[in-house]
Chain A
Amino acid sequence: MIEVKEVEKKFGRKKILKDVSFTANKGEITCLIGINGVGKTTLLNAIMALTPINNGEILIDGEPVKEKTFEKISLIPDALTMIPNMTIEEAMEFMNDFYTSWNRERAEELLGFFRLNKNDRISSLSKGNTAKVNLLLGLALDVDYVLMDEPFSGIDMFSREEIANVFTSHLIENRGVIITTHEVNDIEHLIDKVVLLDDGMVTKEFDAEKAREDDGMSVIDVMREVYQG
């Protein structure tokens, strides 16, 4: 389980995260929803120890993040984190060199799934293909948790569909996923849990299935209720 407890993060005097707490379970898709600039990316970076927090605690399976944690959690940021003049194959080799959790077969499978050419240079990829390579590098790791930052942001309709298909495939099965987005439509039906963020705070945390069954409300309906009144 990923536990975010009373996390506070400041940039200078500005508080980006104010007392944020929530949990994300293995085997569930947790969606962090909020408008741009609300602190979603900062929160994911904080979970991966990529930016220090000013207060609070973040635990992965009951332990703070240390070097070995990166073998069981991966972050798929909204920009590619590989050197532009590498080919996709070289990027895969790099991952294989450094991660024992790198699953070569799954990487090859993902190459096929996304119809990517491994000889293509990263710098020459379109935005959609860059997002797919990013997903490949994150999902080919045999990790328990995957964090995805805006995987649908600014990419074409067909790439969105292909990426959305990932969520219904075995590539996600049994893993704990935290996904940030401000566009819920693409994956609304797949989300298990929703954490609504506004102005650096959690305004509501709810079970999407329960909201559908008990209150007959979709995620968007709940969002409307929270944000518009």
Chain B
Amino acid sequence: MKKYLKLVNFEFNRVVKLFIVLLGITLVVQVAGVIIKSKDYLNMANEKINEDLIPKAQFLTDYGQFSFLHIIRSLWFVGPIALCAAGVAFYIFLIWYRDWVGKNIFVYRLLMLPTTRFNIFFAKISNILIMTLGLVAFQLILLPLEAMVLKWMVPDEFRNDMGIEEMITSIPELNIIIPSSFVELILYYGAGLMAVSILFTAILMERSFKWKGIIAGVIYSAIAVIVFISPVLLQEFVLNSYFYPMELFVIEIVMAVIVLAASVWMSGFLLKKKVTV
């Protein structure tokens, strides 16, 4: 356990610069987005009211009040989130491959550590989770901050204030990364963890068997996905909605646990018996 935690810490230190860059980009771009979008709206209001001489009430009826929705639906807000998601997705591969490439092949050292090789797998997957949760937590901190910037920028009568929960539920993508209930959090992040574990297994297959491993990895991933969605497929096409939704839901959770456990076991087996430097 101690060595696992040390490995997690060590792995996190290796990604901390990328992590800070992603946080920085998110902060700068989203806050800039709030300022620019607010200014655009105020400029438009100014133009309509002072130059086109439309009464303020008429303007508000025609164009509506400015709310955080205008920002959330813009590229200024969604762009950094997409970038962070792409960054994490890229890092899922990089976290393994960087240990094999270059002049100094660090995988030698990792595999020669006097600890179970499962810990290498767990430390790497934990880091993906920490990175993801860290980025989401940062977004949660940013939201009220950005709402505050919007309040400073746009006068009361032009503004429709939204609560944080309202902001999150306003676009489905945001609701997935910041679920509104604990159960949803477990489900979404559990599914994410399962997907990452499947990818890790596929990567380790490639590292163990080279090009044959790529084929094995693709087949393994396909089988894992089919196993996971098989209850839904059966329900739809064979069983004619035999299960109640709640039953199907429980079966899906069991399937996810099976796929996750199989991926962890397979990755551990590959790391112990098949992987090559």
Contacts and interface: CB of A to CB of B under 8 A. Distances in A.
A17 interface: no
B108 A98 contact: no
Nearest to B272: A49
B109 A52 contact: no
Nearest to B102: A84
| Number of chain A interface residues as a range | 20 to 34
B106 A82 contact: yes
Interface string A80-112: 111110000000001001111100000000000
Contacts of A79: 103-105
A75 interface: yes
B277 A67 contact: no
A52 B274 contact: yes
Interface residues of B, number: 25
B116 to A, nearest CB: 5
Query: Majority SS of interface residues in chain A?
Result: loop
Interface in B69-120: 102-109, 111-117
B260 to A, nearest CB: 23
A97 B13 CA distance: 15
Contact of B114 (A45, A52, A68, A122): A68
Among B6, B14, B106, B273, which residue has the most Cβ atoms of chain A within 10 A?
B106
A70 B111 CA distance: 9
Interface of A: 45, 48-52, 67-71, 74-75, 77, 79-84, 94, 97-101, 122
24 contacts: A45-B276, A48-B111, A48-B112, A49-B272, A50-B111, A50-B112, A50-B277, A52-B273, A52-B275, A67-B115, A67-B116, A68-B114, A70-B113, A79-B103, A79-B105, A80-B103, A81-B105, A81-B106, A83-B14, A83-B106, A84-B103, A84-B104, A98-B3, A98-B113
Given A50-B276, A81-B109, A84-B103, 19 more contacts: A50-B108, A50-B111, A51-B276, A51-B277, A52-B273, A67-B113, A67-B117, A70-B113, A75-B108, A77-B105, A77-B108, A79-B104, A81-B104, A81-B106, A82-B106, A83-B104, A94-B10, A98-B3, A122-B104
